[in-house]
């Protein structure tokens, strides 16, 4: 109950102007020397001994992750990773059909995304990197050692800080009323979209998690949130708290915006061109509207005209996943399929990389 009392406008108004100082200090150094980003991009994991030429800011940033290894709980992580091992294909489908367009329905947060041309001009690459992030953090036994999952979180967190830096330095049309770019409220909302909203989508299809599984996933994403620079003292650890947090953020920020509509159109155009199943693409807008509901659909400018049955859609997605990955969506199968698709589409396997650009 104490946490629920913190879910109010006064607290969350302050969160809109809170950033991530550890990552922001590191990026202030990285933008001065493109070779630093290039060096980090060459890593397979965070090295035990950091380069001698790293500044104090960079050393403190990566020491944070090295110290986090001691806090990792193999037993707690394993439960969530096993859930993904059984439901990975459906989990990824919910990210694409529900979580991403749901994020676009929040007008102020969408202002950051629309200012990144990559999300519009290179949407396939951006979606591929997002999928790679999720697969890295759900890999069986990830975080049991200083493996690539820690490095993936560290790089995505820095990419957020790069976005803040470039918007603050170069975006002449940024309205202070939006709050800070990628602020703590938006980070909480995004974390919620990748966890609670995914599970809500699965429930809409009749494949919802048990209360124990739902809570385990929320606790896992609390851990991920810590690694991503989220102030997790406000993170929900029960289904009730997650519901109330989502309701508060919806009430505060869900509204129509040209940014949200433009992002959703780009997403749907990409799906139309790249999803091979004509049955899905012919009903794409109705499927998105089914998950989003009336308010969020209106915010992103869609209106599904054909009613969709959750039970039938769920069976169809399960069957589609079965055809692609087999009876069990093993992490290895999901990753190999992603890499095969990326090689066909882009001629290479996509990697999560820091921008290698020197400040002018």
The whole-angstrom separation of Cα 148 and Cα 48 is 13
User: pLDDT-based confidence at 324, cuts 50/70/90?
Assistant: low
| Residue pLDDT, tens place only, 203-249 | 999 999 999 999 999 999 999 999 999 999 999 999 999 999 999 99
Q: Is residue 144 part of a domain?
A: yes
User: For residue 171, which phi and psi values (nearest 5 degrees)?
Assistant: -85, 100
Q: Is residue 357 part of a domain?
A: no
Q: Which pLDDT belongs to residue 116?
A: 66
Please choose, from the candidates 43, 73, 77, 69, the residue with its C-alpha nearest in 3D space to the C-alpha of residue 58.
Answer: 43
Range of the domain at 64: 2-346
Average pLDDT in the chain: 90
The set of residues, in sequence order, having a beta carbon less than 8 Å from that of 22 and lying 6+ positions away, is: 60, 61, 64, 229
What average pLDDT score do residues 298-306 get? 88
pLDDT value at 322 more than 60: no
Q: Is residue 160 part of a domain?
A: yes
What average pLDDT score do residues 321-325 get? 51
Provide the CB-side half-sphere exposure for 127 (13 A, CA).
27
How many residues in the chain?
360
User: For residue 254, which phi and psi values (nearest 5 degrees)?
Assistant: -80, 115
Q: Which pLDDT belongs to residue 325?
A: 47
Please choose, from the candidates 296, 268, 293, 285, the residue with its C-alpha nearest in 3D space to the C-alpha of residue 127.
Answer: 268
DSSP per-residue codes, 161-207: HHHHHHHHHH-TT--GGG-STT-HHHHHHHHHHTTHHHHHHHHHTT-
Q: Is residue 356 part of a domain?
A: no
User: pLDDT-based confidence at 359, cuts 50/70/90?
Assistant: low
| Whether the Cβ atoms of residue 221 and residue 76 lie closer than 8 Å to each other | no
Q: Is residue 354 part of a domain?
A: no
Percent of the chain with pLDDT over 90: 68
| Residue pLDDT, tens place only, 259-268 | 999 999 999 9
| Residue pLDDT, tens place only, 85-134 | 999 999 999 999 999 999 999 998 888 887 766 566 678 888 889 999 99
| Whether the Cβ atoms of residue 89 and residue 321 lie closer than 8 Å to each other | yes
Residues 228-258, buried b or exposed e (16+ Cβ, 10 A)?
Answer: bbbebebbbeebebbeebbebbbebbbeebe
pLDDT value at 56 more than 80: yes
User: pLDDT-based confidence at 170, cuts 50/70/90?
Assistant: confident
78 versus 323: the higher-pLDDT residue is 78
Number of domains in the chain: 1
| Residue pLDDT, tens place only, 273-297 | 888 888 788 888 999 999 999 999 9
| Residue pLDDT, tens place only, 30-54 | 999 999 999 999 999 999 999 998 9
Q: Is residue 355 part of a domain?
A: no
The whole-angstrom separation of Cα 134 and Cα 1 is 31
> Does residue 265 sit in helix, strand or coil?
helix
Tokens of 16: 């809109």
Q: Which pLDDT belongs to residue 117?
A: 60
Handedness of CA 92, 97, 101, 103 (dihedral sign): negative
Q: Which pLDDT belongs to residue 319?
A: 58
Alpha helices in the chain (DSSP H): 2-6, 9-15, 21-30, 34-41, 56-68, 74-94, 100-104, 107-114, 117-121, 123-137, 148-170, 184-193, 196-204, 211-227, 239-253, 258-274, 278-282, 284-300, 310-325, 331-346
Q: Is residue 360 part of a domain?
A: no
Q: Is residue 150 part of a domain?
A: yes
């Amino acid at each position: 109950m104490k946490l629920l009392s913190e879910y109010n406008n006064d607290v969350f108004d302050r969160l809109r102007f809170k950033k991530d100082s550890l990552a922001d200090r590191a990026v202030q150094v990285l933008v001065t020397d493109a070779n630093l980003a290039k060096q980090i991009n060459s890593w397979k994991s965070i090295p035990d001994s950091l380069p001698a030429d790293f500044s104090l800011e960079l050393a403190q940033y990566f020491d944070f992750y090295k110290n986090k290894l001691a806090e990792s709980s193999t037993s707690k992580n394993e439960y969530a990773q096993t859930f993904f091992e059984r439901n990975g294909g459906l989990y990824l489908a919910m990210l694409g059909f529900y979580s991403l367009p749901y994020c676009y329905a929040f007008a102020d947060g969408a202002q950051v995304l629309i200012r990144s041309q990559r999300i519009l001009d290179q949407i396939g690459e951006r979606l591929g990197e997002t999928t790679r992030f999720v697969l890295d953090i759900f890999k069986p036994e990830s975080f049991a050692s200083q493996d690539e999952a820690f490095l993936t979180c560290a790089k995505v967190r820095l990419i957020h800080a790069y976005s803040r830096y470039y918007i603050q330095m170069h975006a002449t049309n940024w309205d202070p009323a939006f709050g800070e770019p990628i602020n703590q409220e938006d980070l909480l909302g995004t974390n919620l979209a990748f966890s609670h909203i995914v599970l809500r989508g699965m429930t809409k299809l009749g494949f919802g998690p048990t209360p124990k599984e739902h809570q385990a996933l929320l606790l896992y994403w609390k851990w991920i949130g810590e690694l991503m620079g989220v102030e997790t003292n406000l993170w929900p650890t029960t289904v009730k708290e997650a519901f109330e947090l989502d309701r508060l953020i919806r009430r505060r920020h869900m509204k129509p915006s040209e940014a949200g509509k433009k992002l959703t159109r780009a997403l749907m155009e990409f799906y139309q061109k790249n999803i091979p199943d004509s049955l899905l693409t012919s009903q794409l807008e109705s499927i998105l509207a089914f998950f989003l509901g009336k308010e969020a659909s209106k915010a992103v400018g869609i209106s599904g005209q054909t009613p969709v049955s959750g039970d039938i859609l769920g069976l169809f997605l399960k069957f589609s996943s079965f055809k692609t990955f087999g009876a069990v969506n093993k992490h290895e199968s999901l990753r190999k399929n992603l890499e095969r698709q990326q090689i066909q589409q882009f001629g290479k396997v996509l990697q999560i990389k820091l921008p290698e650009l020197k400040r002018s």
